[in-house]
Amino acid sequence: MANLIPIYYLGKKHMVPEGVTIMGAIESSGHRLVRGCGCRGGFCGACATVFRVPGDHRIMVGLACQTRVEAGMDVAILPYYPAQKTIYDCNAVENPAGALQLMYPEMYRCLGCSACTKICPQDLPVMDIIAAAQRGNLPAVAELSFDCVMCGLCASRCLAQMVPYNIAMAARRIYSHFMLPRPDYVGDRIREIKEGVYDRQIDDLLEKGPEELQKLYAERDIECI
Instruction: Tell whether the model's pLDDT for residue 223 goes beyond 70.
Output: no
DSSP letter for each residue of 132-153: HHHTT-HHHHHHHTTT----SH
Instruction: Tell whether the model's pLDDT for residue 16 goes beyond 90.
Output: yes
CATH of the domain at 72: 3.10.20.740
SS3 (DSSP) at 33: coil
List, for residues 51-71, the tens digit of each pLDDT value. 999 999 988 988 999 999 999
Scored b (16 or more CB within 10 A) or e, 85-105 reads eeeeeeeebeebeebbeebbe
List, for residues 85-137, the tens digit of each pLDDT value. 999 999 999 999 899 999 999 999 999 999 999 999 889 999 999 999 999 99
- Top pLDDT among 10 and 164 is at 164
CATH of the domain at 145: 1.10.1060.10
- Residue 46 binned pLDDT confidence (cut-offs 50, 70, 90): confident
Please identify, among 50, 77, 104, the residue that sits at the C-terminal boundary of a domain.
Answer: 77
d(CA 48, CA 150): 9
Task: Examine residue 210 and state whether it is found in any structural domain, yes or no.
Answer: no
Count the domains in the chain.
2
Radius of gyration of the chain (CA): 22
Which pLDDT belongs to residue 25? 93
Task: Examine residue 34 and state whether it is found in any structural domain, yes or no.
Answer: yes
DSSP letter for each residue of 137-193: -HHHHHHHTTT----SHHHHH-TT---HHHHHHHHHHHHHHHTSPPPHHHHHHHHHH
Task: Examine residue 212 and state whether it is found in any structural domain, yes or no.
Answer: no
**pLDDT more than 90, % of the chain:** 68
Instruction: Tell whether the model's pLDDT for residue 222 goes beyond 80.
Output: no
- Top pLDDT among 35 and 148 is at 148
Q: Residue 55: which domain range?
A: 4-77
Same domain, 72 and 94: no
Across the range 20-38, mean pLDDT stands at: 87
d(CA 93, CA 86): 13
Same domain, 46 and 125: no
Task: Examine residue 173 and state whether it is found in any structural domain, yes or no.
Answer: yes
SS3 (DSSP) at 200: helix
Same domain, 63 and 35: yes
Same domain, 31 and 106: no
Which pLDDT belongs to residue 13? 95
d(CA 165, CA 152): 7
Please identify, among 23, 55, 77, the residue that sits at the C-terminal boundary of a domain.
Answer: 77
